[in-house]
Amino acid sequence: MNIIFLGAPGSGKGTQSEQLIAKHGLQHLSTGDMLRAEIAAGSELGLAAKQIMDAGELVSDDIVIGMIAKRLSDKGALFDGFPRTLAQAQALDALLAENAQQIDHVVFLDVDNEEIVQRMLARGRADDNEATIRNRINVFEQQTKPLIDFYRAQGKLREIHGKGGVEEIAARIEQAIL
């Protein structure tokens, strides 16, 4: 089973990913985690990505698609924060098709923007200041929201109200993907 988690930054994708990965034995593919690891390692990719991420922008498709392609396996995956653009979604479909796989479900965690701002300010990351958070939400609205219609047209979109307790939201997701 291959699942995509869509949602604005701070919508709970990472938290809910942990729940599904543990329950279904999926590989966790988080481009945010991959990029943060590159930054922590001080790699050339990490240094370039840090500048882009600190501005609240998206890292180029070539970089993130390459990172995903290296890590794909046949055991099923949960894609957390990827794809973020229509081009990435189409590239992912092509990568999976090469391995006779497809996306089974796309879970969209729908959370109010002001709730997201408060959540992200509370978690205290260095790149989580209010201006950067609002820019990241705007980037999501412009570049990632079109994926909602893309996956809805394929009959794969599952819209989940993303406000509430972790277990409550996890139950909504489980119900939607059964």
Is 145 marked as a binding-site residue?
Answer: no
Q: Which of 13, 50, 119, 172 is flagged as catalytic?
A: 13
Is 36 marked as a binding-site residue?
Answer: yes
Residue 91 CB neighbour total at 10 angstroms: 20
pLDDT digits (tens, 9 = 90+) for 64-118: 888 888 888 888 999 987 898 899 999 999 999 998 999 999 999 999 999 999 9
- Containing structural domain, residue 130: 3-177
User: What is the per-residue pLDDT for 151?
Assistant: 97
Q: For the residues 146-173, what does the mean pLDDT come to?
A: 95
Q: Which of 23, 71, 125, 145 is flagged as catalytic?
A: 125
Residue pair 81/13 in contact by the 8 Å Cβ criterion = yes
Q: For the residues 151-168, what does the mean pLDDT come to?
A: 95
Is 162 marked as a binding-site residue?
Answer: no
Is 88 marked as a binding-site residue?
Answer: yes
Active site residue 134: no
Q: Which of 50, 84, 119, 158 is flagged as catalytic?
A: 84
Q: Which of 50, 136, 158, 172 is flagged as catalytic?
A: 136
Is 35 marked as a binding-site residue?
Answer: no
User: What is the per-residue pLDDT for 14?
Assistant: 85
Active site residue 125: yes
Q: Please report the beta strands in 134-177, taking only residues with DSSP state E, as ranges in sequence order.
A: 157-161
Active site residue 172: no
User: What is the per-residue pLDDT for 176?
Assistant: 95
User: What is the per-residue pLDDT for 117?
Assistant: 93
Phi, psi for residue 6 in degrees, rounded to 5: -110, 145
| Cβ-Cβ contacts under 8 Å for 18 (sequence gap 6 or more) | 28
pTM score > 0.75 for this model? yes
Cα separation, 161 vs 164, in Å, equals 8
User: What is the per-residue pLDDT for 129?
Assistant: 86
Cα separation, 65 vs 125, in Å, equals 25
For residue 58, is pLDDT > 80? Answer: no
What CATH number is associated with residue 106?
3.40.50.300
Active site residue 152: no
Number of domains in the chain: 1
Cα separation, 89 vs 37, in Å, equals 23
Is 111 marked as a binding-site residue?
Answer: no
pLDDT band at 27 (very low <50, low <70, confident <90, very high): very high
pLDDT digits (tens, 9 = 90+) for 124-141: 777 678 998 998 899 888
Active site residue 13: yes
